[in-house]
A and B are shown apart, each in its own frame.
Chain A
Amino acid sequence: MTAALRFDPIRLPPECEVLRKQVRAFLAEEIAAGTFDPHKPNREDTDAPEFSRRVGERGWLGMTWPKKYGGHERSFLERYVVTEEMRVANAPTRRFFVADRQSGPVLLKYAPEHIKMDILPRICRGEVCFAIGMSEPNSGSDLFAAKTRATRTDGGFSINGTKIWTSSAHIADYMIAIFRTSPSTKENRRHGLTQFLVDMKTPGIKVNPIGQITGQFEFNEVVFTDAFMPDDHVLGEIDGAWKQATSELAYERSGPERFLETYYVLTELVRAVGSKPDTRSAEGIGRLVAQLHTMRRMSVSVAGMLQAGKEPVVEASIVKDIGTVWEQQLPHRVRDLAAFVDADATNHETLENQLSFAIKTAPKLTIQGGTTEVLRGIIARGLGLR
């Protein structure tokens, strides 16, 4: 018998609905104050430091972390609600999102106490931005081919090499990166990489922006030339990053951000077709909503398993695989249906602009944070095929 997949019908508990109302009210205030326009995902103001601080003030960063580090000891399910409401509203979360989802939990697990006491409370206050330094010019999905070297020196390491496609590096205060501390071995090609906390103000780090096909400059090349990393910035085991890199993936892979990236075009399509759609529009919208609902139920189910202390690695990978393929296709399906929308509909221009941006965004969705091919490899391993 194949390992049975579990997707229990988890419901968000009542405290989540109270929280949801608070988040919606907060976002409505921010929209009214002109912080961001929910109808314009393609703006350049995504680095919104004041917004980030206000989210921190509400207690919505580091929600699941211990109070002694500035966290709030709330559940994964509560964090889920905040994440999905921010995403659906197109709120400018870039400054804090990576730190909150990913970098903070890594520090919690592997950083020395004084660093945790220093940085985690600042993440919770929305003051610091993190980037992730994984890919290099010659290693992307093949994470363990990374070559950027960390060489032993007095009291630490000297870093030389290049990271690339590093989102937010140009605004980041810190990066969590993997560097090569030893060659790989014959027995274990994943051996020899070490995870580091990088202070982006360190001399010897140069960030070069890279333009994307959307017209945005979200990601960068980061060049290290004799950049010094003190010993206490090593995260976890020297040469043992491969043991650490996989455990964080479940919550990276299955959250609402993995199927809601282009959601706004669906809302706008519903607005454009009006209250009495023709059969074709109704059927198209109905299918998309059924698929969306199913995705979300799967994603909430994984969040519930994480809350229960389980490690649903295969289920999380399935959510990301199906979710990212769905959000990639969504703008194209909406475009199919929009072909029949009255060109005089009041939101026609908004829809056209959104579609143009979403269609250009679409290709990256099945690449970032683990490609479809890598995910299917993980699922196949879970099925006992490799």
Chain B
Amino acid sequence: MAESENIVAETAEKIFADLADAQTINNDKKGSWKAPLWQALTEAGLPLSWVPEDCDGSGASLAEGFSVLSAAGRFAIAVPLAETMLAGWLLSQSKMASPEGMMTVVPASPKDRIAVGADGTLSGRARGVPFAKDAQSIAVLASGASGLSIALVNAAKCRIEAGLNLASDASDTVTFSNVQPIAIKPAPRGFDQNALMLMGGVARSLQIAGALESMLDISVRYSNERVAFEKKISKFQAVQHNLARLAGESAAALAAATSAADTIANSASFDDAAFLEAASAKIRCSEAAEKGGAIAHQVHGAIGFTIEHILHRYTLRALAWRDDFGSESYWAVELGKMVAARGADELWPLVASR
């Protein structure tokens, strides 16, 4: 990790440690932790990490922003930090400035499409949009007769039906009925919905990997405290081997996600190799969320199944994040199609190219 990534990530970690302690949040039924956390993140310029300074952002590198998302995953952060970062990144693709406040990004699923009409208004429906209810602005990728456009929309102009993901974070349906955007510009050549989905998918992969790191950490700690049959449960081989498997899933998620992030941070376009990296990260991290989360719960027993315990903050969010920007099943089909189209003898050269 470069020095600057360390500094940005450390800034984020410090804010999370001070204002997003899992136990404190878990005890706070009114959500009064949210406003101070968001304010501190905003003051540090983190939500607009990926927005260049001339577009009113903090101009951090992609790599620095990715390191913030890893940290956000480790703390299972439940404010629209990743979403605002993605929205700012999307707007800056067309050199559009980002407003202050919380944002989210549309579409958040590969199957939803928003259309630009001849009059420049937006129509269509997007499902599973994270934190749409909380967002003041929405960055939209929309398609029209003249190709793709990127638009900034006032969230109040859209119809937003509230929904919840597995972790009870907002995951809403956003309907656009001839919505006039605040600003709209053509998307740059080569940029498409796939690129947005892959970027969102890598963000979620890093968050899942971070959550798995914490699941491993708190599961190991718990196993060294909990006594059963007159010894610490960490001394039972069955428990040790379960935790070793959790370490493996955490390691696989970490390796897949950081490799994909590194690829995107260092390449100009989403070619086949970048696609392999980003799609694989979402697939493998999602699988790890399932397997690793199950072990974390198994180690904790009944206490980990309670609302009072913090474990669910990580396990349920990791499971929920699988669904955003294309599930692992979706990306597996797309990756499988690409591999088949390239042909059997081109599979190894593709894998070995990374």
Binding site for B on A (CB under 8 A): 1-2, 4-5, 7-9, 11, 20, 84-85, 88, 263, 266-268, 270-271, 273-277, 279, 281-287, 289-298, 301, 314-315, 318, 321-322, 373, 375-377, 379-380, 382-386
**B245-A270 in contact (CB<8A):** no
Q: Report which of A84, A289, A373, A383 forms a contact with B347, defined as CB distance below 8 A.
A: A289
A283 touches B329 (CB 8 A): yes
- List the A side residues contacting B240 at CB < 8 Å: 376-377, 380, 385-386
The 8 Å CB contact of A267, one of B258, B281, B345, is: B345
Q: Do the beta carbons of A385 and B332 come within 8 Å of each other?
A: no
Which residues on A sit within 8 Å (CB–CB) of B333? 279, 282-283, 286
Chain B residue, CB-CB nearest to A88: B348
Candidate in A373, A380, A384 with the most chain B CB atoms within 10 angstroms: A380
Majority DSSP secondary structure for residues of A touching B: helix
Choose from A7, A279, A292, A382 the contact partner of B351 (Cβ within 8 Å).
Answer: A292
Q: Does B224 contact A (CB under 8 A)?
A: yes
Q: A2-B217, A293-B276 are in contact. Are A286 and B248 (CB under 8 A)?
A: no
Known contacts A277-B337, A286-B335, A293-B280; A4 and B255 CB within 8 A of each other: no
Q: 7 nearest interchain CB pairs? A: A282-B336, A286-B332, A286-B336, A271-B344, A286-B335, A380-B240, A290-B283
Interchain CB contact under 8 A, A7 and B258: yes
Question: What per-residue 1/0 map shows which CB atoms of B252-263 lie under 8 Å from chain A?
Answer: 101110110111
Q: Is A282's CB under 8 angstroms from B340's CB?
A: yes
Residue of A whose beta carbon sits closest to that of B236: A385
Residue B320 at the chain A interface, CB threshold 8 Å: no
Which residues of the partner chain B approach A292 to less than 8 Å between Cβ atoms? 351
| Interface flags, B321-354, vs A, CB<8A=1, else 0 | 0000000110111111101110111011001101
Q: Is A318 a contact partner of B247 (Cβ separation < 8 A)?
A: yes
Do B243 and A385 have beta carbons less than 8 Å apart?
yes
Q: Which B residues from 205 to 251 make CB contacts under 8 A with A?
A: 213, 216-217, 220-221, 223-224, 234-235, 237, 239-241, 243-245, 247-248, 250-251
B245 touches A275 (CB 8 A): no
Within the complex, the shortest CB–CB distance from B346 to chain A, in Å, comes to: 9
Q: Which of B220, B250, B328, B339 contacts A385 (CB 8 A)?
A: B220
Chain B residues contacting A386 (CB-CB under 8 Å) are: 234-235, 240
In the assembled complex, the Cα of A20 lies from the Cα of B248 at a distance in Å of 29
Q: Which residues of A contact B352 (CB under 8 A)?
A: 20, 84-85, 88, 296
Docked Cα-Cα span, A275 to B237, in Å, equals 47
Q: Which residues of B contact A287 (CB under 8 A)?
A: 283, 287, 328, 332, 336
Given contacts A5-B254, A267-B345, contact A293 B351 (CB under 8 A): yes
Q: Which residues of B contact A276 (CB under 8 A)?
A: 340-341
For residue B284, CB closer than 8 A to chain A, the reply is: yes
B335 contact from A9, A85, A289, A382, Cβ within 8 A: A289
B residues contacting A by CB (< 8 A) are: 1, 213, 216-217, 220-221, 223-224, 234-235, 237, 239-241, 243-245, 247-248, 250-252, 254-256, 258-259, 261-263, 276-277, 279-281, 283-284, 287, 328-329, 331-337, 339-341, 343-345, 347-348, 351-352, 354
- Distance from B86 Cβ to chain A, minimum over Cβ atoms (Å): 21
- Please name all residues of chain A whose beta carbon is closer than 8 Å to the beta carbon of B337 when the two chains form the complex: 277, 282, 286
The complex places the Cα of A267 from the Cα of B216 at a distance, in Å, of 35
Whose C-beta in chain A lies nearest to the C-beta of B255? A7
Are the CB atoms of A274 and B340 closer together than 8 Å?
Answer: yes
A314 and B243 alpha carbons, distance in the complex (Å) = 13
Residues on the A chain within 8 Å of B340, using CB: 270, 273-277, 281-282, 285
- A321 close to B255 (CB less than 8 A): no
Q: Is the CB of B283 within 8 A of A318?
A: no
Determine whether the beta carbon of A297 is less than 8 Å from that of B256.
yes
| Chain B positions within 8 Å of A293 at CB level | 256, 276-277, 280, 284, 351, 354
B266 to A, closest residue via Cβ: A11
Taking A1-B217, A289-B276, A296-B352 as known contacts, 14 extra A-B pairs with beta carbons closer than 8 A to each other, sorted by chain A number, are A5-B247, A8-B1, A85-B352, A281-B336, A283-B336, A286-B283, A286-B339, A287-B336, A290-B284, A294-B256, A383-B243, A384-B220, A385-B243, A386-B240
Q: Tell me which of B248, B258, B332 contacts A282 (CB under 8 A).
A: B332
Q: Which residue of B lies closest to A274 (CB)?
A: B340
Closest to B346 in A: A270
27 contacts between A and B (CB under 8 A): A2-B216, A4-B213, A5-B213, A5-B251, A84-B352, A267-B347, A267-B348, A271-B344, A279-B333, A282-B333, A282-B336, A282-B340, A283-B329, A283-B332, A284-B336, A286-B337, A287-B283, A287-B287, A289-B335, A292-B351, A295-B252, A315-B251, A375-B244, A379-B244, A383-B220, A385-B223, A385-B243
With A8-B258, A268-B344 already in contact, the answer to whether A379 and B280 are too (CB < 8 A) is no
In whole angstroms, what is the CA distance A88 to B220 when docked? Answer: 37
Q: Which residues of B contact A270 (CB under 8 A)?
A: 339-340, 343-344, 347
Contacts of A281 in B (CB 8 A): 336, 340
Specify which chain A residues have a CB less than 8 angstroms from the CB of B277 in the assembled complex. 293
Residues of A with C-beta under 8 A to B237: 377
Q: Which residue of B lies closest to A376 (CB)?
A: B244
For residue A294, which residues in chain B have a CB less than 8 angstroms away from its CB?
252, 255-256, 259, 280-281, 284
Report how far A287 CA is from B237 CA in the complex, Å. Answer: 31
- Give every chain B residue within 8 A of A88 (Cβ-Cβ): 348, 352
Asked if A298 and B339 sit within 8 Å, CB to CB, the answer is no
Contact A289 to B259, CB < 8 A, known contacts A321-B244, A322-B252: no
Chain A, residue nearest B261 (CB): A9
How far does the Cβ of A320 sit from chain B's closest Cβ, in whole Å?
A: 10
